Amino acid sequence: MYSRILWLVPAGLLLAQPAPDAPGLARKALDLFLGGKYAELNQMMSPSAKEGMSEAQLGKLGTQVKGWGNVEKLGAPASQDLGPTQIVTIPAEFTKQNINFRIAINASGQVNAFLMTPGEPRWQAPAYVKADSFTSREVTVGNDEWKLPGTLTVPKGGGPFPALVLVPDSGPSDRDASVYGNKIFRDLAEGLASRGVVVVRYEKRTRQYASRMTSYTIDEETADDAGRALALLRTQPEVDKSKIYVLGYGVAGYIAPRIAKNDGKLAGLILMGANATPLEDLFVEEAENLGAKPQQLTVLREQAAKVKKLEQSDSDAPNMLGEPAIFWLDLKGYDAAAEVKKLSVPVLALGGGRDFQAPPKQLDLWKAALEGKSGSQAKSYENLNHLFIAGEGKSTDSEYRKPNQHVAAEVVSDIAAFLGK
């Protein structure tokens, strides 16, 4: 996940009424381009765009793109409002290269610009992933208006296998828990599948339905979909129904004891880079660790104080610390460490010694809560950051920008051992 300080800041301002269904129009334009239908794409363009990009020029661009191989995946469109124009970015994975198509749609629904920029470097599997030892298939988590696309990774050979739901950290995470060119959940899913564990991961609701997620509780943002993923696992023939676990990463680890309590049938729980202290305090602490400016810290502390004073009658209050009032009200009185003590299942808590988002003292709180709890353990990895990637010195969010780093092999091994594999 990106630093919470980054996603708490609004990405832009709504300056005007956006074009009708700009993401749909951009996707249509891209499909025409990739299908070689340049004349039809040219007809979608505004007069000024046609002057800068003729049908023949589109054809030359198409020839260049064909040199990158087949289209393996098109990502979900992401829109940015710029006055009467919306810029829609659609990431595309080709056999040889990743590209971001940036398509401008004007207020009349015409293509105003059609651009390409380099995408994130292609993910390369770490050494502990054995690609010939598992298969992956697309699944759907839930079957209602909030259904989510996901990936089920299944070991080859005779089952049934233990199974794990990966529950993502805060922010609009994708199923791979992608942070720049790093894919934390893909590392875990394929690394654990290589060791005989079925793993499901899915797009987060705040990413898949961003425009509709204006007000929500932490259950609606995180816990409910974890429960739906558990229900999905219990329908899979390869899964040992008595050995199903949840891994909560970051803030999902904070709420994971509630997920376990709601389910009531888990074999165990894994808390990875999770906080035990209240979120409003954690957000302020993270800003301090990042060296935020005094003025920014003052604002964050003031908002954290307001969060603590919220009452049920304040459900319509403005957003605070990047979340709606009902989100904070849902967490009022929630004590993660106390809740984990009540669970009858074993718990594995993991933390990075260089984690500035869930600092080492958070793991100390989990360790104290797990003391004397049968089969439970808290383990620290001194050289790992919040992404559970190795490094040296003080960790900052700029460290995340280096692509194709991977979750440390020892973390995958320790999780596999906890799962009995």
User: Do 303 and 9 meet the contact criterion of CB atoms below 8 Å apart?
Assistant: no
Residues 155 and 253 in one domain: yes
The answer on pLDDT for 7 being more than 70 is no
Residue 73: CB atoms within 10 Å: 9
Q: Report the distance separating Cα 319 and Cα 227, nearest Å.
A: 26
Residue 23 domain flag: yes
Please report the pLDDT score of residue 10 as a whole number.
33
Q: Which of 87, 118, 149 is the last residue of a domain?
A: 118
Inside any domain, residue 390: yes
Domain of 345 in residue numbering reads as 131-278+334-418
Asked if the bond preceding 155 is cis, omega within 30° of 0, the reply is no
Q: Which of 70, 93, 118 is the last residue of a domain?
A: 118
Please check the confidence at residue 16 and state whether its pLDDT lies above 70.
no
| Residue 307 falls inside a structural domain | no
Among 71-85, 188-202, 246-260, the least confident range: 71-85
Question: Total domain count for the chain?
Answer: 2
Domain identity same for 136 and 111: no
**Residue 20's pLDDT band (boundaries 50, 70, 90)?**
low
Q: Do 152 and 101 sit in the same domain of this protein?
A: no
Flag whether 310 is in a domain: no
Residues 73 and 98 occupy one common structural domain: yes
The last residue of a domain, from among 96, 118, 140:
118
pTM of the model: 0.79
CA-nearest of 240, 331, 296 to 6 is 296
User: Which domain CATH number covers 80?
Assistant: 3.10.450.590
Q: Is residue 113 part of a domain?
A: yes
258 in a structural domain: yes
Confidence of residue 160 (pLDDT cuts 50, 70, 90): very high
**Do 174 and 265 share a structural domain?**
yes
CA atoms within 13 A on the CB side of 81: 16
| Per-residue pLDDT, 17 | 43
Question: Which of 421 and 154 is assigned the larger pLDDT?
Answer: 154
Do 92 and 175 lie in one domain? The reply is no
Do 249 and 160 fall into the same domain?
A: yes
Answer yes or no: do 247 and 348 share one domain: yes
Calpha distance 69→59 (Å, rounded): 16
Tell me: pLDDT of 51 over 90. Answer: no
Domain annotation covers residue 327: no
* Interval 276-332: pLDDT, tens: 999 999 999 888 888 888 888 998 999 999 999 999 888 888 888 889 999 999 999
Domain identity same for 79 and 212: no
